[in-house]
Homo-oligomer: A and B are copies of this chain.
């Protein structure tokens, strides 16, 4: 079928989710289950169960997303330098018994949470040299995306909009540029606000979508998780199905070029 492979692992679901901002562990559990996600990202620095053995003694996030059932994707949210991000990844690998798949984020600004692409390039090189499989959060700059692929990142994860904004895909041109040139999976990471945003990302040719706030901050997170599951499938199928051409009129064959709509 239409499986998706990253870093040698193959998945049926193209929706990746996070674990932040939920009311409690039960809601986290219900929403993630409803989403159908197989890959779940966790902020290393904000997940005590990952870094503090004490935290594992009571019910914790790893009970909700057990490594036996999910592919964990530890991420470096909150790191502002390459050095910090690399150290954080190494800590996670140690605590997770050698797990070497990570999502690299080197943040450049605390408001937009946009990446610092220079530091991201430095950290990616170092992590890859150290044996990590690096899925990388980046801007939507196609030149930077190519560079990150060239140095060995196993997935490119451009932002669609600011993390936690729900503003949707700001620049379709750049997403298409990245998708068309990439030889590794491209996943939209950040900016999705509602189901149609996720569908659009997939229709642009992305291999997957990662999101968190859009589910966790919906009025009904579990129902929104279901919506996202359907939306990613819908967008993927529409991409593979080859959409009809846009036309000014049903009957006419006048070219659409240069029409202002």
**Is there contact, CB below 8 Å, between B244 and A213?**
yes
Complex CA–CA separation, A198 to B244 (angstroms): 14
Complex interface residues of chain A between 221 and 255 (CB less than 8 A to chain B): 221, 223-224, 226-231, 233-238, 240-252, 255
Which residues of B lie under 8 Å from residue A213 when comparing CB positions?
Answer: 244, 250
Complex interface residues of chain A between 20 and 57 (CB less than 8 A to chain B): none
Complex CA–CA separation, A196 to B83 (angstroms): 40
Say if the beta carbon of A16 comes within 8 Å of chain B.
no
Which residues of B lie under 8 Å from residue A233 when comparing CB positions?
Answer: 227, 230
Chain B interface: which of A61-69, A127-135, A166-174? Answer: A166-174
* Interchain nearest-CB distance for A144 vs B (Å): 7
Say if the beta carbon of A124 comes within 8 Å of chain B.
no
Say if the beta carbon of A183 comes within 8 Å of chain B.
no
- Copies of this chain in the oligomer: 4
Partner of A224, one of B110, B121, B171, B238: B238
Which residues of B lie under 8 Å from residue A223 when comparing CB positions?
Answer: 237, 240-241
Complex CA–CA separation, A109 to B244 (angstroms): 22
Q: Contact size class for A?
A: 35 or more
Given contacts A112-B249, A143-B116, contact A170 B173 (CB under 8 A): yes
Say if the beta carbon of A141 comes within 8 Å of chain B.
yes
Which residues of B lie under 8 Å from residue A219 when comparing CB positions?
Answer: 241-242
Binding site for B on A (CB under 8 A): 108-118, 121, 139, 141-144, 146-147, 161-167, 170-174, 176-177, 193-196, 198-200, 203-204, 213-214, 217-221, 223-224, 226-231, 233-238, 240-252, 255-261
List 14 A-B residue pairs with CB atoms under 8 Å apart, sorted by A's residue number: A108-B143, A109-B142, A111-B249, A111-B251, A117-B117, A170-B171, A196-B199, A196-B203, A198-B234, A217-B245, A221-B241, A224-B242, A231-B231, A243-B258
